[in-house]
Structure 1
Amino acid sequence: MTARLPVFPLATVLFPGLVLPLHIFEERYRALVRDLLGRPQGAPREFGVVAIRRGWEVAPGAGRAVPGGDEVVLHEVGCTAELRQVTELDDGGFEIVTVGRRRFRVVDVDRTAAPYLTAEVAWLPEPAGANEVTELLAARVIAVFRQYLGLVRPGEQEVSEQLPEDPTVLSHLVAATAALTVTDRQRLLAIDDTAARLRAELRLLNREAALLRQVRAVPVPLTELAAPPAPN
Structure 2
Amino acid sequence: MTDRLPLFPLNSVLYPGLVLPLNIFEERYRRLVRDLLALPEGERRFGVVALRSGREVGELPVAAIDAVFPLGCTAEVATMRPHADGRYDVVATGATRFRLVSVDDSGPYLVGKVEFLEEPKGDDAAVLTLAVTRAFTEYQRELVGAQGRGPMELPELPDDPVVLSYLVAAAMVLDLSDKQNLLVLDDATLRLRAELSLLRRETALLGHIRALPAVELLRQKAGPN
Q: Secondary structure at the match of 2:214?
A: coil
1:121 is the counterpart of 2:120? no
Distance 2:59 2:98 in 1: 18
Aligned-residue offset at 1:159: 4.0
Aligned-residue offset at 1:41: 4.9
Tell me which residue corresponds to 1:84.
78
Tell me which residue corresponds to 2:127.
136
Aligned-residue offset at 1:224: 4.2
Task: Check whether the contact 2:122–2:190 (CA below 8 A) recurs between aligned residues.
Answer: no
Give the RMSD, CA atoms, in angstroms. Answer: 1.9
Task: Check whether the contact 1:52–1:67 (CA below 8 A) recurs between aligned residues.
Answer: no
Aligned-residue offset at 1:157: 3.4
1:29 is the counterpart of 2:68? no
Q: 2:195 aligns with which of 191, 195, 201?
A: 201
Are residues 166 and 67 of structure 1, via their aligned partners in 2, closer, same or farther at CA, if it must alter by over 3 Å?
farther
- TM-score normalised over the length of structure 1: 0.86
Q: Secondary structure at the match of 2:193?
A: helix
- TM-score normalised over the length of structure 2: 0.89
Aligned residues with identical type, % of pairs: 47
Q: Name whichever structure is richer in helix by fraction.
A: 2
For residues 182-207 of structure 1, give each alpha carbon's deviation from its aligned partner in whole angstroms, at most 9, with x where no partner exists: 10010000011110100000011111
Code of the residue aligned with 2:130 in structure 1: it is A
Mapping 1:130-169, distance limit 5 Å: 133-154=124-145, 155-157=149-151, 159-169=153-163
Tell me which residue corresponds to 1:59.
none
Task: Check whether the contact 2:209–2:217 (CA below 8 A) recurs between aligned residues.
Answer: no
Code of the residue aligned with 1:19 in structure 2: it is V
Are residues 15 and 67 of structure 1, via their aligned partners in 2, closer, same or farther at CA, if it must alter by over 3 Å?
farther
For residues 6-40 of structure 1, give each alpha carbon's deviation from its aligned partner in whole angstroms, at most 9, with x where no partner exists: 00000000000000100000011001011111013
Q: 1:102 aligns with which of 96, 109, 129?
A: 96
Code of the residue aligned with 1:135 in structure 2: it is A
Q: Secondary structure at the match of 1:86?
A: strand
**Consecutive unaligned residues in structure 2, runs of 5 or more:** 221-225
